[in-house]
Structure 1
């Protein structure tokens, strides 16, 4: 059994001291405006699709992080992919599935979902 040593009153485990394996870090905004536009349901779709493809926290996979506001709020829900620095607006379950299949599994940027500033 791994040694679990409390730090500042919180139990620790060695797995909480390593960066999970991944090749893409994906951030989905769950700030107030993106949440009003369905971000929490899109989070569930994103996670489910990545699990189906066995792409969660594996060397060629994805590390998922929910964030608060990333801006630009009016174009959200906002999803960003690093290291490519792609900013996407995802508005439906179909958008999320296509983004996972094309970009995160297939390596191809989904041009029509990329955010473009509006006046």
Structure 2
């Protein structure tokens, strides 16, 4: 059976309490980057059934690796810093199927 989306992307938006032992993706502009990715995918005409879906997620349990997102169906994990990193993931992986090795987190 074919997947409903070619790529389904989940951004960790978890927010931990101040003073928590582990970091939170929400403290690294994860919400803003998720919203940016969603708008960028839509602007490029990549959004919708059979294409790309950008979603929010709770904790993905990779907190110590920086803000994280995961692209399914391949299960490719990425970290990012800013909009230029998101642009690279969208342009390379989501638009052209090429993994961005420099932002990839080891499985």
The 4+ residue runs of structure 1 with deviation greater than 3 A are none
**Aligned-residue CA RMSD in angstroms?**
1.6
TM-score normalised by structure 2 residue count: 0.84
Counterpart position of 2:71: 81
1:1-119 → structure 2 map (5 Å cutoff): 21-32=4-15, 33-59=24-50, 61-116=51-106
Q: Which has the higher contact order (CA 8 A, sep 6+)?
A: 2
In structure 1, the gaps of 5 or more residues are 1-19
Larger Rg: 1
- Give the superposition deviation at 1:116: 3.5
Counterparts of 2:10 and 2:29, CA distance in 1: 15
- Give the superposition deviation at 1:58: 3.1
In structure 2, the gaps of 5 or more residues are 16-23
Q: Matched residue pairs, number?
A: 97
